[in-house]
């Protein structure tokens, strides 16, 4: 098991959260808290980079949906990028690919560099 690590970076279009490890029952609260701490302006886009995500259970998906609610309440947008194939498959099965914006890595506007804690 890999512990969850979330790092944050500000990009021109809005904040980027880099999620590494396992987004599961034991760790999903951390993503909710990180998202709720973000101050977003209308028109900004929160990008959640999942390219280093190893595992995501239903609690993790619920945390992503909670982040979406926080972002939409601020008048901003949210996009997932680097979604691993197994997680993408689940999102598609339950129809969340129609609710969450999912960008391919090539389409991601996350800028360059790595996240900072």
- Give the DSSP letter string of 16-34: EEEEEEEESTTTHHHHHHH
Cα dihedral 85, 24, 93, 104 sign: negative
User: Which pLDDT score is estimated for 9?
Assistant: 96
User: Which pLDDT score is estimated for 100?
Assistant: 96
Q: Give me 101's structure tokens.
A: 């914006």
Q: Give me 8's structure tokens.
A: 């944050």
In the chain, what's the furthest Cα-to-Cα distance? 37
- The structural domains of the chain, with segments of one domain joined by +, span 5-107
pLDDT in tens, 7-39: 999 999 999 999 999 999 999 999 999 999 999
Class of domain 5-107: alpha beta
């Amino acid at each position: 098991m890999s512990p969850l690590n979330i790092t944050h970076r500000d990009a021109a279009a809005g904040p980027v959260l880099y999620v590494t490890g396992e987004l599961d029952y034991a760790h999903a609260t951390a993503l909710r808290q990180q998202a709720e701490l973000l101050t977003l302006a209308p028109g900004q886009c929160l990008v959640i980079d999942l390219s280093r995500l190893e595992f995501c259970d239903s609690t993790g998906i619920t945390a992503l949906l909670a982040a979406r609610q926080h972002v939409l309440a601020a008048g901003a947008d949210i996009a997932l990028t680097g979604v691993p194939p197994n997680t993408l498959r689940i999102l598609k099965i339950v129809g969340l690919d129609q609710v969450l914006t999912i960008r391919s890595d090539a389409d991601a506007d996350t800028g360059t560099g790595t996240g900072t804690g």
